């Protein structure tokens, strides 16, 4: 029998289940994973990432679909996605990206009521036999370390997004 220790999951398993929107909460409160808060968009680290640097970009308004956004909000949202990719390129030097939007529960939206883009940096060889055969994902850097590496770059572009 194989054993994989993941003690950090106990906080999630035993913790009080918060039904509030994680994006609205990040806008209204000081959140330790929020990289950027702009006038119409925000960027947060994914608390349960697929890989280091996995972040989420969302409009500040609590909306579930693209057609609910104004033209200006759509432009700001895409510009924030672009700026976030630029930061990841500078700090983490990935070989590529998966950038996506899951609309609706059946499409994989974990928070279906608040539209958000996933930005997932990718490196050649970042999926290996452990992931494929053992269904185990190895994330080599702690979430707080990744946040600390990225945050200064978001602070620098805070006025330009």
The catalytic position among 54, 114, 116, 118 is 116
Q: Is 114 a catalytic residue?
A: no
Q: For 107, which DSSP code?
A: G
Q: What would the two tokens of residue 35 be?
A: 């990289």
Q: What would the two tokens of residue 118 be?
A: 């996933």
Which strands, in side-by-side order, build the sheet including 55-59?
34-37, 41-45, 55-59, 117-122, 96-101
In degrees and rounded to multiples of 5, residue 92 shows phi and psi of -110, -15
Catalytic (active-site) positions: 116
């Amino acid at each position: 029998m194989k054993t994989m220790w993941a003690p950090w999951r106990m906080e999630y398993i035993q913790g009080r289940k918060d039904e509030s929107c994680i994006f609205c909460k990040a806008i209204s409160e000081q959140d330790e994973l929020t990289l950027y808060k702009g006038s119409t968009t925000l960027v947060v680290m994914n608390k349960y990432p697929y890989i280091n640097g996995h972040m989420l970009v969302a409009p500040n308004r609590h909306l579930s679909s693209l057609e609910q956004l104004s033209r200006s909000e759509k432009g700001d949202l895409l510009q924030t996605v672009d700026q976030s990719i630029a930061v990841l390129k500078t700090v983490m030097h990935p070989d590529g990206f998966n950038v996506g939007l899951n609309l609706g529960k059946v499409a994989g939206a974990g928070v279906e009521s608040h539209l958000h883009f996933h930005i997932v940096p990718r490196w050649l060889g970042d999926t290996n036999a452990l992931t494929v055969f053992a269904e185990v994902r190895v994330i080599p850097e702690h979430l707080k370390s990744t946040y600390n590496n990225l945050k200064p770059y978001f602070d620098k572009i805070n006025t330009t997004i």
